[in-house]
A and B are shown apart, each in its own frame.
Chain A
Amino acid sequence: MRNPDQTLDEILNLSAAHFKVPREKLSPDDDFFKTLRIDSLQALDLLTRLENHFGIELPDYELQGVSDFRTLASRIQSRL
């Protein structure tokens, strides 16, 4: 099973690759809406990719108000 740091790292890697942002420009406490320059529909796209990557189901209402990678990682970690 992944530890929280691994989960966070995989989220940052996946986000950087999919939205074509250099990995070194992403930090755990970044607001991913701003750093990735995404809107709500793209955020749902990211959620889908994370669900597929981690093999989990994460209701989108659990992400209400979540905008940083670290909190997103903790939500995902709780489902692993």
Chain B
Amino acid sequence: MALHRDPCNEIGSATLEDLERFATAIESVGDEAHAVILYSKLSCGFCAGADLRELYHSSREMEGKAAVQGVRGFLERIHRVMNIIDASPLTTIAAVHGVTFGGGFELALVCDLIVADKTTRFCFPELRLGLIPGFGGIPRLKRDLGNGVVRDLLLTGRSFNATKAQSVGLVSQVVAEGEALKVARATASQVKKFDRGTAAIAKKFIKPIPYEELRREIDLFCELFVQPAVEAGLKKFVESTDAQPYLP
């Protein structure tokens, strides 16, 4: 799955539709594949997260309740995609580089393995906007990492480089700049040597999906979304001409 939408693969309605087609494809692939790789064709990075401009403009066009319903509908769809990738019997590999923020980080987190090149930065900047990650980030981060690291990422909004991410157990391999996809393909070749059914059973055993927390995350996100600070934060971000809109 090659992400390819300028400026940096922001997840709005178009990318969501791409991801939905991808999810349908991996559900129907059967025994024809052992592994799938998600990567970006853009030099800026893997994915800068949710399309905040689309979120802001589409929300402004609707009344309060309708806006929240619209957001909830979007979240339900993206969660469905994330859950399908997470639960896929295939081995899923995220080959990431550069900006891997917010929803992009959450997309990487659904994968079984993350291969990151040295330019990668991971970040959950949502609290800067008065929100929490909404695409399953917190439950999946909690599943994989110690809660102290989760709190650090979430409550400070700071970004980690690939080396730090590997040291806390998030990334399986750190590779030279531009080499993530090549290494992910080599990893997929290794995965292919094993019995697919056994690998699927092992994955199901060691990677439970926190469905209840994921549901709660959608509710919390929608509760927060109606706060005036969120609209103000989104407005500031969308209208900013500051050189550092990502570093408020």
Contacts and interface: CB of A to CB of B under 8 A. Distances in A.
B119 A48 contact: yes
Given A41-B8, A61-B156, A52 B243 contact: no
A48 B160 CA distance: 9
A44 interface: yes
Contacts, number: 55
Q: Please name the 10 residue pairs, one residue from A and one from B, whose CB atoms are nearest each other, closest first.
A: A59-B158, A40-B246, A40-B244, A33-B243, A48-B161, A51-B161, A60-B159, A44-B121, A60-B158, A61-B158
Contacts of A21: none
Given A39-B243, A40-B244, A45 B119 contact: yes
Contacts of A49: 119
Interface residues of A, number: 20
B118 A52 contact: yes
Interface in B129-170: 156-159, 161, 163-164
30 contacts: A33-B243, A33-B244, A38-B243, A40-B244, A40-B246, A41-B8, A41-B98, A43-B247, A44-B99, A44-B159, A44-B246, A45-B119, A47-B121, A48-B118, A48-B119, A48-B161, A52-B118, A52-B161, A52-B163, A57-B161, A60-B123, A60-B158, A60-B159, A61-B156, A61-B157, A61-B247, A64-B244, A64-B247, A64-B248, A67-B243
Contact of A41 (B44, B120, B156, B163): B44
B197 interface: no
Nearest to B246: A40
Greatest chain B CB density within 10 A among A33, A39, A47, A48 is at A48
Nearest to A63: B247
Interface of B: 8, 44-45, 48, 98-99, 118-121, 123, 156-159, 161, 163-164, 242-248
Interface of A: 33, 38-41, 43-45, 47-49, 51-52, 57, 59-61, 63-64, 67
Nearest to A33: B243
Contacts of A52: 118, 161, 163
A63 B242 CA distance: 15
A39 to B, nearest CB: 6
A39 B244 CA distance: 7
B115 to A, nearest CB: 16
A61 B156 CA distance: 8
Contacts of A57: 161, 164
B107 to A, nearest CB: 18
A67 to B, nearest CB: 8
Nearest to B152: A59
A38 B246 CA distance: 13
A41 B10 CA distance: 14
